[in-house]
Structure 1
Amino acid sequence: MLYPCKFILLLPILLIIIISQNRVVQARTTLTNSNNYKKLQRPFNNSVSAIFVFGDSTVDPGNNNYVNTLAKCNFPPYGQDFVNHIPTGRFSNGRLVTDYLASYVGIKDFVPPYLDPSLSLDELMTGVSFASGSSGFDPLTAQLLDVITMEKQMEYFKEYKRRIENSIGKEKTKLLIRKAAFIISAGTNDFAVNYFNTPFRRQKYYKVSEYQQFLLQMVQQFIKDLMNEGARVIGVGGVPPFGCLPVVITIDSGINALQPRRCIESYSAVAREYNLLLQHLLKTMEIPGTKVFYVDIYNPINDMIHTPIKYGFTEVTMGCCGSGLIEASFLCNPKSIVCDAPSNHMFWDSVHPTQATYYNLFQAIRPSIDFAIKQIRNIS
């Protein structure tokens, strides 16, 4: 979802408010086995060279470990269901959608963070994530917690290209980039954290529709930059129903935050409007030899929330860590109480999905993944 380790996907809104004030499934029930990712049916004759990922905490596998920020999760209980129970910096109890994607296309089992200094050349060449938890298309969103802006993520990608060119040459690098899949997942923090819960952007963009257009301009420029760097197949995730994030429900429900807990429809309506505008934008951006496509995050997440039993969920409005109402990042820590069955919960903390949710989401977007693979096969 791509959520705020939103879809973060992200650091809780409450944390952003505190900082800004101081500073200006398992598929259904089968994911308990941490090796189930190996059982994913992989597409025949795959020709994807690498996977490159940009965005927020929904696709950050640990870049924030190497950034001076409070938005970290490289400590227990994060990662308790990851291989060897390692808290890698993923804002979840286990894998992310991009990990399942990489395994599915047969490249590698996990997408590593670009900033990990121990990555080998082989690891780099099959793809990395440049994403940063608590980031967004709006530069101010990332600045709120001193994480990596989308602009800086692009700079890191350019740096990456130079490193690979120095190792295998420019022509082989160009081919590697042309045959790679590019994934972008961001936007939730821009709305749920920045626009709705700090005063800064609303002073300039009084109407949410104005802010939506601003974000779309940022999206458009980012995609153009990727194209200029050689990207040919680019998938852009929409935003989820962020009115259903546990922390959003908690903060915006006031005295009714405990029972009954319901999604904040006004927030989710903004998400739907933005997704429609994003789809229209992406259709206008395709040029010969390039495919830019929309990845629907909203509807799969919305379906899990409203028909949880179909996915094996018993709790969809509170996180598994702590009270499940406000905890995320350092508020979810080794001293926090954790629910007995994370795979029964949609959310790991008050913002980020569980591994089970990410797996269900992966299954939902497989048609988009297969579409991307087909496009890459046709690239010479």
Structure 2
Amino acid sequence: MTFPKRPAGRWSDGRVLSDYISKYLGLKSPVPYSLRKLMPQHLKQGMNFAFGGTGVFDTSFPFPNMTTQIDFLEQLIKDKVYTTSDISNSVAYISVAGNDYNHYLSTNGSIQGFPSFIASVVNQINTNLISIKKLGLKKIVVGGLEPLGCLPQITASSSFQQCNSTFNDLTVLHNKLLNKVVTKLNQESKGHTTYLILDLHDSVMSVLNHPSTHNIKNPLKPCCVGVSTEYSCGSVDLNNVKKYRVCDKPNSAFFWDMLHPTQAGWHAVYNKLQTKSVLRQLLK
């Protein structure tokens, strides 16, 4: 409803972080993989292989996981859609937003078993980063995990008043293990490929802790919700009657629904990221 004023495949009311990163690099938003044949004139702007709800491993969403998405890129290189030069002059951005962890909990995963599952997720990210490097990428950026304990899905139990420290501690563990992986990969690469981490955890927390600085009110409360617990943002009944409601000012909300930020939320996070050196390294 905010951008581009019609449904566009984003889990938000408008632009998401990858849109802002593309803009920072002077590019248009990358073409979705599923629309590549309909938009051949835009392929040199890059491609977005993401499928909503997917993760490093398979989730409840029956779409390609990250390993398969990397296979898609490899096939495009084999098919000469992208040349060796295209790839070596490109940046790969890897987004791991927590869908694996959401799936883990929804399939009766225990809190006790969470740390070992986190280790398996980060280990697979490590494998995937190596696979991407082998395709010829020189710069690979992976997003750190945002504070999952602050998602409305978790904070609903406190009427959206406070983040859950248990889940935020698990997020910190994920990011700690990810930092170790990236440090080791950079040491082994010896300058041939640069691996970078976008610190989404600290950027999101900074915005949530100082919402008024970014013109955001009720930082933990979602803008779009179901009319009852059996419905969610976007739900309609059999008669196509809306079973959700939307706040009056999405631009004052950080979260769009129970899991995803609004365009305003992502823009605030992007502004925080611009103060760090990682984005600037992408332009070198």
For normalisation by structure 2, the TM-score amounts to: 0.89
SS of residue paired to 1:331: coil
Counterpart contact for 2:224–2:246, Cα < 8 Å:
yes
Q: Which amino acid aligns with 2:172?
A: R
TM superposition shift of 1:111? 2.3
Q: Which amino acid aligns with 1:196?
A: L
Partner of 1:293: 196
1:218 aligned onto 2:124: yes
SS of residue paired to 1:294: strand
Partner of 1:263: 163
Partner of 1:194: 103
2:90 equivalent among 177, 180, 188: 180
TM superposition shift of 1:227? 0.8
Deviations 1:179-210 (A, max 9, x none): 1011011141122x1223322x55xx953221
Counterpart contact for 2:17–2:270, Cα < 8 Å:
yes
Alpha-carbon distance in 1 for matches of 2:154, 2:136: 38
Counterpart contact for 1:347–1:354, Cα < 8 Å:
yes
Counterpart contact for 1:246–1:324, Cα < 8 Å:
no
Runs of 5+ unmatched residues, structure 1: 1-79, 375-380
1:372 aligned onto 2:278: no
Deviations 1:121-152 (A, max 9, x none): 3311220110111111123x2xx121221121
Alpha-carbon distance in 2 for matches of 1:322, 1:135: 22
For normalisation by structure 1, the TM-score amounts to: 0.67
Alpha-carbon distance in 2 for matches of 1:209, 1:325: 33
1:105 equivalent among 22, 25, 31: 25
**Paired residues for 1:1-380 under 5 Å:** 80-83=1-4, 85-108=5-28, 110-139=29-58, 141=59, 144-163=60-79, 165=80, 173-191=83-101, 193-199=102-108, 202=110, 207-250=113-156, 253=157, 257-258=158-159, 261-286=161-186, 287-288=189-190, 289-322=192-225, 328=232, 330-331=234-235, 335=242, 336-366=244-274, 367-374=277-284
Q: Which amino acid aligns with 2:167?
A: Y
Counterpart contact for 1:318–1:325, Cα < 8 Å:
no
Deviations 1:57-84 (A, max 9, x none): xxxxxxxxxxxxxxxxxxxxxxx0113x
Alpha-carbon distance in 2 for matches of 1:319, 1:277: 30
Alpha-carbon spacing, 1:325–1:355, altered in 2? closer, same or farther (3 Å): farther
Alpha-carbon distance in 1 for matches of 2:183, 2:27: 28
Runs of 5+ unmatched residues, structure 2: none
Alpha-carbon distance in 2 for matches of 1:328, 1:230: 42
SS of residue paired to 2:32: coil
Alpha-carbon spacing, 1:159–1:329, altered in 2? closer, same or farther (3 Å): farther
Deviations 1:301-360 (A, max 9, x none): 112222211111112122111359966564389823211110100011111100011111
Counterpart contact for 1:324–1:349, Cα < 8 Å:
no
The higher-RCO structure (CA 8 Å, 6+ apart) is: 1
